[in-house]
A and B are shown apart, each in its own frame.
Chain A
Amino acid sequence: MIYSLCFLLILIGLYGVLTRQNIIKIVISLLVIEYGIHLFLVLQGYRTGGTPPIVDSSIDKQLWLQQSVDPLPQALVLTSIVIGLGVLALMVALSMRIHERYGTFDIGKIKKLKG
């Protein structure tokens, strides 16, 4: 059930990328898509009634193995967030340069390349 909410978030982002005319709104919609995917991935590791995957010297290892949530998707999502950050920085820099050259953020007017 909660996975369909993740997909709803992804679809909202996709709607934004497809229909918005402003570059900044397209960038933000791409981010929304990424948030939805990260949420979906983290939820894969969830175990009902689970504990955080942190080990202390006072925790019994076997019990911890049976009860903790899966830490692997969390590591994957951390990596993916950083990748998203890199792409975001690049997109923002490009949008700023385009605004400098073309004078607008509207993608309908940025059409020097055709064919």
Chain B
Amino acid sequence: MSSPQETHGMSMIVKTVCVWVKGFILLYGIHIILYGHLTPGGGFAGGVIAAAAFVLVMLAEGEDAALKTYSRKAASTWDSLGVLLFWLMAVLGVVVAGIYFFNFWTTSESARLTLFSGGIIPLCNVGIGLKVCSSLYLVTFVLTAHRWHLDTEGKDDAP
């Protein structure tokens, strides 16, 4: 049987803190993803931090609240879409400039080292960030909080 923590989360203090903090964590993760071509981090690290925001919701408020925030189907969709965005960037390199993964979006000299520079790299970072966030959320969700119902016995794989 599921413990109270799985469905109803933790105590009132934790829930109150979570309501205030989860937005900041997600925002910080998005910042690291978007500025990945200028500061350390990028897609992977930012994705992990963004996933931490959703995992916080899952731990503090229980499985049902986490599913309402980010359902399994949505996470699976964004997972695939993130990689397909990255894939599109790579293949567009062939289409536009003839070389796979070519950085075809050049920046003007004055705009170097600002947010909208670096060519296709920020878009690749966004793709990877989406994928990592969704994957880690799904993995943590399936391995910890999810209650497997007896009639949906399926193969267990880590997305």
A interface residue numbers (CB < 8 A to B): 52, 54-57, 74, 78, 81-82, 85-86, 89-90, 92-94, 96-97
Contact = CB atoms under 8 A, between A and B. Distances in A.
B111 to A, nearest CB: 11
Given A56-B113, A57-B112, A93 B40 contact: no
B113 A93 contact: no
A52 to B, nearest CB: 8
B143 interface: yes
Interface bin, chain B = 10 to 19
Contacts of A54: 38-40
Nearest to B132: A82
Contacts of A90: 157-158
Interface SS majority for chain A? helix
A88 B60 CA distance: 24
B39 A93 contact: no
B86 interface: no
A93 B112 contact: no
B44 A82 contact: yes
B94 interface: no
A43 B44 CA distance: 21
A45 to B, nearest CB: 13
Contacts of A74: 40
Interface in B133-159: 136, 139, 142-143, 156-158
